Chain A
Amino acid sequence: MKEEFDMRANEKPFVKIDIITRPESFDALKDELNKIGITGMTVSNVLGCGMQKGYKEYYRGTEVEINLRPKVKVEVVVCEVPVQKVIDAAMKVLRTGKVGDGKIFVSELTNVYKIRTGEAGWAALQDIE
Chain B
Amino acid sequence: MNGADSVFVFICTALVFIMTPALALFYGGMVRSKNVLSTSMHSYALIAIVSVQWVVVGYSFAFGDNLGGIIGGFQHALMNGVGFEPNTIYSATIPHNLFFMFQLMFAIITPALISGAFAERIKFSSFLVFITAWIFLVYDPIAHWVWGDGGWLRTLGALDFAGGNVVHISSGVTGLVAALVLGKRKNRSAARPHNIPFSILGVGLLIVGWYGFNAGSALGFNAAAMTAFITTNTAAACGMIGWVAFEWIKTKKPTALGAVSGAVAGLVAITPGAGFVTIPGSMAIGLIGGIICYFAVSVMKKKFGYDDALDAFGVHGVGGTIGGLLVGFFAIVSNETLTPKGSEGFFYGGGFSLLGKQAIAIVATYVLAGVVSFILLKVIDKVMGLRSSEEAEAIGLDVADHGEEAYGGMAV
Query: Nearest chain B CB to A1's CB is how many angstroms away?
Result: 37
Q: Which of B190, B404, B405, B410 contacts A27 (CB 8 A)?
A: B190
- Which of A22, A24, A26, A55 has the most chain B CB atoms inside 10 A of its CB? A24
Q: Is B375 an interface residue (CB 8 A)?
A: no
Contacting pair B410 A22 (CB below 8 A): no
Contacting pair B404 A57 (CB below 8 A): yes
Q: Which of A22, A23, A26, A57 contacts B405 (CB 8 A)?
A: A57
Contacting pair A68 B410 (CB below 8 A): yes
Q: Which of A22, A56, A57 contacts B394 (CB 8 A)?
A: A22
Query: Nearest chain B CB to A81's CB is how many angstroms away?
Result: 25
Q: Which of A24, A56, A58 contacts B190 (CB 8 A)?
A: A24
- Please report the number of residue pairs spanning A and B whose Cβ atoms sit closer than 8 angstroms: 29
Q: In chain B, residues 145-197, which have Cβ atoms closer than 8 Å to a Cβ of chain A?
A: 186-187, 189-190
Q: CA separation between A26 and B189, bound complex, in Å?
A: 11
Query: Nearest chain B CB to A84's CB is how many angstroms away?
Result: 28
Query: Nearest chain A CB to B403's CB is how many angstroms away?
Result: 5
Q: Is A105 an interface residue (CB 8 A)?
A: no
Contacting pair A58 B394 (CB below 8 A): no
Which residue in chain A gives the minimum CB-CB distance to B34? A70
Q: In chain B, residues 383-410, which have Cβ atoms closer than 8 Å to a Cβ of chain A?
A: 394-395, 399, 403-405, 409-410
Q: CA separation between A56 and B405, bound complex, in Å?
A: 10
B190 neighbours in A (Cβ, 8 Å): 23-24, 26-27
Total interface residues on B, CB under 8 Å, equals: 13
Total interface residues on A, CB under 8 Å, equals: 13
Q: CA separation between A26 and B191, bound complex, in Å?
A: 12
A14-50 interface mask toward B, CB cutoff 8 Å, 1 = contact, 0 = none? 0000000011101100000000000000000001000
Q: Is B89 an interface residue (CB 8 A)?
A: no
Contacting pair A47 B189 (CB below 8 A): no
Q: CA separation between A7 and B282, bound complex, in Å?
A: 75
Q: In chain B, residues 53-106, which have Cβ atoms closer than 8 Å to a Cβ of chain A?
A: none
Q: Is B48 an interface residue (CB 8 A)?
A: no
Q: Is B249 an interface residue (CB 8 A)?
A: no
Contacting pair B187 A56 (CB below 8 A): no
Contacting pair A57 B410 (CB below 8 A): no
Contacting pair A56 B189 (CB below 8 A): no
Contacting pair A27 B409 (CB below 8 A): no
Q: Is A66 an interface residue (CB 8 A)?
A: yes
Contacting pair A24 B394 (CB below 8 A): yes
Query: Nearest chain A CB to B230's CB is how many angstroms away?
Result: 45
Query: Nearest chain B CB to A50's CB is how many angstroms away?
Result: 15
Q: CA separation between A39 and B399, bound complex, in Å?
A: 34
Contacting pair B399 A57 (CB below 8 A): yes
Contacting pair A57 B403 (CB below 8 A): yes
Which residue in chain B gives the minimum CB-CB distance to A98? B391
B186 neighbours in A (Cβ, 8 Å): 24
Contacting pair B412 A58 (CB below 8 A): no
Q: In chain B, residues 260-284, which have Cβ atoms closer than 8 Å to a Cβ of chain A?
A: none
Q: In chain A, residues 45-82, which have Cβ atoms closer than 8 Å to a Cβ of chain B?
A: 47, 55-59, 66, 68
Q: CA separation between A56 and B409, bound complex, in Å?
A: 13
Query: Nearest chain A CB to B301's CB is how many angstroms away?
Result: 20
Q: Which of B187, B394, B410 contacts A47 (CB 8 A)?
A: B410
Contacting pair B403 A24 (CB below 8 A): no
Q: List 29 A-B contacts (CB under 8 A).
A: A22-B394, A23-B190, A24-B186, A24-B187, A24-B190, A24-B394, A26-B190, A27-B187, A27-B189, A27-B190, A47-B409, A47-B410, A47-B412, A55-B395, A55-B399, A55-B403, A56-B403, A57-B399, A57-B403, A57-B404, A57-B405, A58-B403, A58-B404, A59-B404, A66-B405, A66-B409, A68-B409, A68-B410, A68-B412
Return the 6 tightest CB-CB contacts between A and B, nearest first.
A58-B403, A24-B187, A24-B394, A57-B403, A47-B410, A27-B190
Interface residues of B (CB under 8 A from A): 186-187, 189-190, 394-395, 399, 403-405, 409-410, 412
9 additional A-B pairs beyond A24-B394, A66-B405, beta carbons within 8 Å, are: A24-B187, A27-B189, A55-B395, A55-B399, A57-B399, A57-B405, A59-B404, A66-B409, A68-B412
